[in-house]
Structures are given as C-alpha cells and as structure tokens.
Amino acid sequence: MHEQVANRRYDFIHQATANLADKSHATTFAVEDLNIKGMVKNHKLSRAIQDAGWGMFLTTLEYKCRWNGKNLIRIGRFEPSSKLCNDCKYKMESIPLSVRE
C-alpha cells in the first residue's frame, strides 16, 4: 500500500515538473525557499506536507530545469510573495491563508 502511494506521488511529481521545466515556454521559475523541515514539526500540517512531497518536487524541478537550460530561482521565505499584486506591486498588509494563492 505504502509503495503504491509512493509510486503515485513520484509519478505525479515527474509529470508536474516535466510540464513546467520541459513542456512549458516559461524560462524562469521562482520558488519560495520554504522551511519544510520546520513546517513538518507542526503536527497539524506535517502529514499533508509529507504526503505532498514538496521536497522531492523541488529537487526534481531543479534538475529538470538544469537539463532544459531553464532558471530556477529560490526566493526568501519571508518575501511577501502571496501578498504582492503581480501587476502593480501593491502589498496587502494582512491576508488570511485561506485566500492566498
């Protein structure tokens, strides 16, 4: 059962990262440098984070970007990336997690 779940996760990560690093026309990706090890210590989030395989996702995206000559930029985890308007750069001072994308 665990093996099946792991295989499904691995397959999803490979497809999702291939769609980004190989098949998309984007040449640069920016990812937040999330403190995954720290977040896993939060018991409410731990299972969901580990199930999603974030660490493996980033490692895979990184090597596929390298293969395809694309840029992967890590931005600081305290950058207000979800609070900034990507058009006019207006920054919301507070925004609940539930409405962030």
Nearer to Zn ion, 3 or 101 (CB): 101
Q: Is 99 in the site for Zn ion (CB under 5 A)?
A: no
E strand or H helix that includes residue 29: strand 28-32
Contacting residue, 1, 38, 43, 90, with Zn ion by CB under 5 A: 90
C-alpha dist (Å) from residue 51 to 5, 7, 40, 42: 9, 12, 11, 14
Q: End-to-end CA distance of the chain, in Å? A: 32
Q: Is 87 in the site for Zn ion (CB under 5 A)?
A: yes
Q: How many residues bind Zn ion (CB under 5 A)?
A: 4
19-27, 59-67, 68-76, 88-96 -> range binding Zn ion (CB under 5 A): 88-96
11-19, 38-46, 53-61, 84-92 -> range binding Zn ion (CB under 5 A): 84-92
- How many Cβ atoms from other residues are within 10 Å of residue 52's Cβ? 14
What are the two backbone dihedrals, phi and then psi, of residue 51, each rounded to the nearest 5 degrees?
-65, -35
Nearer to Zn ion, 85 or 97 (CB): 85
Where does this chain bind Zn ion (CB under 5 A)?
85, 87-88, 90
